[in-house]
Amino acid sequence: MAEKEFDFSEVAMRLGVSRRTFLKFCTGVAASLGLPAASAMAMAKAVADPKRRPPVIWLHGQECTGPTEALLRSEQPSLAHLILDLISLDYHQTLDAGAGHQVEEIKKKSMRENAGKYLLVIEGAIPVKDKGIYCKIAGETMLALTHEAAEHAAAIVAYGSCASWGGVQSATPNPTGAQGAPQVLKGKPVVTIPGCPPNPANFIGTVLFFVTYGKLPPLDEKMRPKWAYGRLIHENCYRRPHFDAGRFANEFGDEGHRKGYCLYKLGCKGPETYNNCPSLEYNNVGGGVWPVGVGHPCFGCSEGGVGFTKPLFSLAVIKTHTPPNVFPEIQDRQDTGGLTAGAAALAGAAVGVAVGASAIAASKLNDKDASASGDQED
C-alpha cells in the first residue's frame, strides 16, 4: 500500500492532479470499458509507472485535425495532461512546440531507438493516387511516411473516420484516391477508432487498456474495440421506444420533433451505425449532447459506407429488425394450442349432450312404440 501511495503522489506531482481526481479518472475509464473495479487500480499503477509509458508517433494525413481537437477538449481537466504524460508523445504535428528539421530529426531518432516498441497513431486519410503526391509532410508523401512508421510499430491505431476508412475525402469522386490506414497497410493489424470526430473516451480507453495489459482489447471484424463499437446506436438510443411505438418526427420543428420522437423518418442512421454515443454521449459534456440527443438524426459519421456516402436524409437500413428478431412466420396461425383445448372440450361436451339426448329420445320412442304395440296386442 505504501508503495502505491508513493507512486500516486509522484503522479500527482508530475501531472498536476490530485490523487483523488486521478483515481476517479481511472475508475471511469475502467467502467466504460466494462472492466471490474480492481482494473482501475491496475490501470492507475500502469499509468503511474513512468517506465511503462510507451513512446507514441502521431501522424496527420488528409483531415481537419478534429480527432486531436476533440481529445484536447476532453472534459476531465487533467485528460489532455494525462494523455500527454502517460504516453511519451515524441512526434505530433499539432502539439509539438518545435518545427521543421528539428522535429523530423526527433521523430526519426525515436523510431530508430524504440523500434518495435512505439505506438503509431494515424489521424487522417492517406491519398494513394499518383503515388500519394496530394499530401506531403517535410517533403515526403503521407503514403511513404505511413509505410515507414508502420514497419516497426508495436501497435497501430487509426484514430478518426478518415484514418479508419477514408472519411469525407474518400467520398465520391475521391479525386486524390484517399484511403484509410487499414486499406493502405494491408496485412498489418490496425485498430480503428472511427468517428467524425471520434469520441476521445474510446481512444483513451483503448490506449489505457493497451498500456495496462500489454495487449489490445477484443476487436470486431472491422478492428474496432468491441467495448465501444459492439452495439448499434439504435439499440441503446433513448428515442427507441418512440420508434417501437411508431411515433416519428416528420420534419424539423414539427410537433413530433419538439416532443422528442424518433428521428428515423428524418434519415437517422442509428439503425446501421455501430457506436456508443447513446450511452457515453459526446466528450463527457453530458446533458444529452450528441446529435440525436439535440434533435438531429445520426448521420453515421463512424460507419464506413454510411457516413459521407449515403444521402443525409435518406432512410437507414434497419439491422435490428431482421431475422432472428421475433416475427411470426408466414405460415403461423394464431389458433394453434392454448385456448383450443378448452374450446375442443366444450364442443365435445355439446356434441355429447346432443348425442345423448337423441339417444334417450330414440329409446323413449322405442319404448313408446313397444308399449303401443303391446296395447294393441292386449
Partner 1 sequence: MKRRDFLKAAAGGATALCSVGVAQARPNLEPAENAVGMLFDSTLCVGCKACVAKCKEVNNMPPVIEGDNREWDSARDLSGDTLNVIKVYKNGTAKLKDAEVNGFCFEKRSCMHCVDPGCVSVCPVTAMRRDSLTGIVTHHADVCIGCRNCMVGCPYNVPQFEYNDAFGQIQKCQMCNQAGVERIDKGQMTGCAEVCPTGATLFGSRRKLLAEAKRRMRLKPGEIYNYPRGDISKPYSYHEKAVPTYQQHVWGEKEAGGTNVMHISAVPFDRLGMPPLGERSAASIAEGVQHTLYNYMALPAIALAGLTYVVRRNTDDDEGGES
Question: Which one of 330, 341, 374, 375 is in contact with partner 1 (CB under 8 A)?
Answer: 330
Shortest separation between residue 354's beta carbon and partner 1, angstroms: 18
Distance (Å, rounded) from C-alpha 361 to C-alpha 371?
15
For residue 22, CA distances in Å to 3, 7, 29, 56 come to 16, 12, 11, 22
* 325 lies in the binding site for partner 1 (CB under 8 A): yes
* 371 lies in the binding site for partner 1 (CB under 8 A): no
* 1 lies in the binding site for partner 1 (CB under 8 A): no
Which residue type is seen at 273? T
Shortest separation between residue 235's beta carbon and partner 1, angstroms: 14
* 287 lies in the binding site for partner 1 (CB under 8 A): no
* 335 lies in the binding site for partner 1 (CB under 8 A): yes
Distance (Å, rounded) from C-alpha 338 to C-alpha 361?
36
Shortest separation between residue 229's beta carbon and partner 1, angstroms: 21
* 259 lies in the binding site for partner 1 (CB under 8 A): no
Q: If you search the block for the grid coordinates 503522479, which residue do you land on?
A: 11
Would you call 170 helix, strand, or coil by DSSP? helix
* 311 lies in the binding site for partner 1 (CB under 8 A): yes
Q: Which grid cell sits at 258?
A: 419538439
Q: Tell me which stretch binds partner 1 (CB under 8 A): 77-85, 242-250, 292-300, 359-367.
A: 242-250
Phi/psi at 43 (5° precision) = -65, -45
Residues near 46 by beta carbon (within 8 Å), at least 6 away in sequence:
52, 208, 211, 212
Residues near 5 by beta carbon (within 8 Å), at least 6 away in sequence:
none
Shortest separation between residue 371's beta carbon and partner 1, angstroms: 20
* 345 lies in the binding site for partner 1 (CB under 8 A): no
* 328 lies in the binding site for partner 1 (CB under 8 A): yes
Q: Tell me which stretch binds partner 1 (CB under 8 A): 81-89, 164-172, 185-193, 326-334.
A: 326-334
Phi/psi at 354 (5° precision) = -60, -45
* 321 lies in the binding site for partner 1 (CB under 8 A): yes
Question: Which one of 22, 25, 203, 243 is in contact with partner 1 (CB under 8 A)?
Answer: 243
Shortest separation between residue 315's beta carbon and partner 1, angstroms: 5
Distance (Å, rounded) from C-alpha 85 to C-alpha 50?
9
Per DSSP, what are the bridge partners of residue 179?
126
Sites of contact with partner 1 (CB under 8 A): 243-248, 250-251, 264-265, 311, 313-315, 317-318, 321-335, 339, 343
